[in-house]
Amino acid sequence: MSTPSEFPCQSESDTFIKLATHFIHNKGARLTQPRKDIISVLATTSSPLSPYDIVTRSPHSPLDAVTVYRTLALLETGGLVHRVRGSAKYIRCHYGCQDAQTPSHSMVECVDCGKVRELPIPPRVDGVVAPVGFRILGHDLLFKGRCYECESP
Ligand SMILES: [Zn+2]
Ligand SMILES: [Zn+2]
């Protein structure tokens, strides 16, 4: 059930692996084999993955769920992965959110197949007016849509 669009281009995957590896080093954490496996599963899939999905797709020795949860939480603090709003699944970042000062990573979900993509929306959105007493810093929205694969008969 894999489609070509499930697999991002090689250079994009390599970039993610480099960014995630540097991030883990900079945090003073060790780049263990389980962590490498988790990063590689995230790098080669752009569909949302639950921690259990990552455990079952690991290319090497079995991963334990606690390691997967902790590694996802670590990568999330660096803006390298994002949790899909309203679900327990994660996708890797496609838009360099690790460099952003505020968390803004809205997504669109296909109503038919459930595929999710991050949207390149800037943190400040024109036309959105903050209620009195608030200043808007970013956004975390889930749009609904239909992907091209599901749209074409
Ligand atoms: Zn992102
Ligand atoms: Zn679809």
Q: 61-90 pLDDT, tens per residue?
A: 788 999 999 999 999 988 899 999 889 999
Q: What count of residues does the chain have?
A: 153
User: Which burial class, exposed, middle or buried, applies to 64 when counting CB atoms under 10 A from its CB (0-12, 13-18, 19+)?
Assistant: exposed
Tell me, in angstroms, the distance from the centre of ligand 2 to residue 141's CA.
Answer: 18
Tell me, in angstroms, the distance from the centre of ligand 1 to residue 112's CA.
Answer: 23
Ligand that lies nearest to the alpha carbon of residue 148, given by its number in the listed order: 2
Determine the residue type at 17.
I
CA atoms within 13 A on the CB side of 44: 11
Contact 121, 106 (CB under 8 A): yes
Encode pLDDT of 105-136 as tens digits. 889 999 999 889 888 887 777 888 889 999 88
Residue 2 predicted with pLDDT over 60: no
pTM of the complete model: 0.82
Domains of the chain: 4-92 (1.10.10.10)
pLDDT at 8: 54
